Structure 1
Amino acid sequence: MDTVNKIRYRPTDVSFQPVAGYMSYGKLLKSDIKKKGLVGYYRLGAVYDPEIRDTFEDYEFDGYKDFSMCFNFWTKKDPLLSYIYFQPHKFKQFKALLFFPLLVEANNPELVLYYGYENIAEVKLE
């Protein structure tokens, strides 16, 4: 979250380290988009499963605007657009890489990482 510009950023990618090396969380689509192929449908790199809750939506911060990036899962000429989210996991302890978009227009951001409503780290930009 950017506490100066009052923006809450949705992550665009999350990877975790179970033992050695990093594994990406499975991406879930917010929209039920499909691309018909010769036999069945193409795999888009993410799946649509409305049964899996988007936990980003479980938390609201008064006065903050949410910012999410929409991804194109096909081509510019024939776009298949959707926002993404990640399936919740329960870990006692883990290392993770988190990727967020940042708005260029958001001047002098002061960034804080939250897990739910818990402030877990300040983020410094280089």
Structure 2
Amino acid sequence: MKKTLLIVVIFIINFQLHSQEYITADNFNFKFIKAKKAVGGNYVYTIKTTKDVKKVQVRYKMKSVSGEKDDFDPNKFYLVSDEYKKRIRPLDVRHNYAAGWIYIGFGHLVNFQPKDKKLKEWLSYKPEVKNTFNDYKIEGYQDVCPNINFGTKRKPKMASPYLDHKELKSCKVDLYFSLPKELKKFRIYYGTELISDNKIK
């Protein structure tokens, strides 16, 4: 009897420790996987950064709280640096698809109707989709929304987009940030919830 009880107690403890790996934020659970300097791109596009900054990739395992597909808002992600007093929007957010090794992005949105032909290929105007990044300002911290060149080096087409939503259930999600080279410690939030405290070289 005592042996059986011990096994049950150990199982409960192990289950609780495992479940604590996920952090609930709004309608999704997040589990940190890794943070590293980012290299290369994917099969669709690459967002390049200048030589005076570093591009960082942060990956999470994500699953809906309901266990079914639910509305996912990538604009709720942001990085906080206490050293630099900045709150930084991701350059890009991508999730894995199909076999798991293909990562696809979210539609890029802007708060104006693009007229330039090149910008129309990449940017959409959907005023019904709120830019929720603006809902989580931190007093004393500067908001940083990176500009992205959707044109060429010779003919740049600059914009600072936010992202469209998707219905998702369970996947891995990659966040990409453009950061000062000296920055090594930062926190990642989804909405009001802290989902990881990170260090990187």
2: CA distance between counterparts of 1:48 and 1:8? Answer: 25
> Which of 82, 85, 99 is the matching residue for 1:3?
82
1: CA distance between counterparts of 2:93 and 2:159? Answer: 17
Residue by residue over 1:66-116, the C-alpha shift from the partner in whole angstroms, topping out at 9 and shown as x without a partner, is: 111112323466543321111234645431100011135xx5452000011
TM-score norm. by structure 1 comes to 0.77
| Equivalent residue, structure 1, for 2:149 | 72
The answer as to 2:114 corresponding to 1:33 is yes
CA contact (8 A) 2:110 2:123 kept: yes
CA contact (8 A) 1:12 1:84 kept: no
CA RMSD of aligned residues (A): 2.5
Distance 1:26 1:98, change over 3 A: same
CA contact (8 A) 2:119 2:150 kept: no
Distance 1:114 1:90, change over 3 A: farther
| Equivalent residue, structure 1, for 2:75 | none
Q: CA deviation at 1:65?
A: 0.4
2: CA distance between counterparts of 1:23 and 1:78? Answer: 26
| Equivalent residue, structure 2, for 1:16 | 95
> Which of 122, 126, 136 is the matching residue for 1:59?
136
The answer as to 2:187 corresponding to 1:100 is no
| Equivalent residue, structure 1, for 2:189 | 114
CA contact (8 A) 2:188 2:195 kept: yes
Distance 1:42 1:71, change over 3 A: closer
Identity across the alignment (%): 32
- Secondary structure of the corresponding residue to residue 188 of structure 2: strand
Q: CA deviation at 1:9?
A: 0.6
Distance 1:80 1:30, change over 3 A: farther
2: CA distance between counterparts of 1:66 and 1:42? Answer: 24
2: CA distance between counterparts of 1:108 and 1:13? Answer: 19
Please identify which structure carries the higher strand content. Answer: 2
| Equivalent residue, structure 1, for 2:121 | 44
Q: CA deviation at 1:15?
A: 0.5
CA contact (8 A) 1:5 1:109 kept: no
2: CA distance between counterparts of 1:71 and 1:113? Answer: 21
Please identify which structure carries the higher helix content. Answer: 2
